[in-house]
Amino acid sequence: MSEQHSDDTLRQIDELCNRPIESRLVLYNISKELNFGHLIRTANAFGVSEIIVVGRRAMNRGGHCRTYGRTRRRHFHRLHDACRYLQDDGFSICGVEIMDQAVSVIEQPFTGSTAFMVGNETIGLTDQQLDHCDHFVYVPQYGTAECLNVNVATSIALQQFANWAGFSETKKQGGVFLSN
pLDDT of residue 65: 46
Distance of CA 150 to the CA centre of its chain: 12
- pLDDT of residue 27 exceeding 60: yes
pLDDT at 8 over 50: yes
Mean per-residue pLDDT, 110-122: 94
Q: Where are the domains of the chain?
A: 22-167
Higher pLDDT, residue 119 or 162: 162
Question: Is the torsion defined by CA of 40, 98, 101, 28 positive or negative?
Answer: negative
> Mean pLDDT score of the chain, rounded to an integer?
86
Q: Is the dihedral of CA 73, 174, 63, 144 positive or negative?
A: positive
**Mean pLDDT along residues 22-51:** 91
Predicted pLDDT at 37:
84
Q: Which of 73, 22, 27 is nearest to 50 (CA)?
A: 73
Q: 22-167 has which fold? A: Alpha/beta knot (3.40.1280)
pLDDT reported for residue 123: 92
Tell me the CA distances in angstroms from 170 to 14, 40, 179, one per residue in order. 29, 17, 8
Is pLDDT at 15 greater than 90 in this prediction?
no
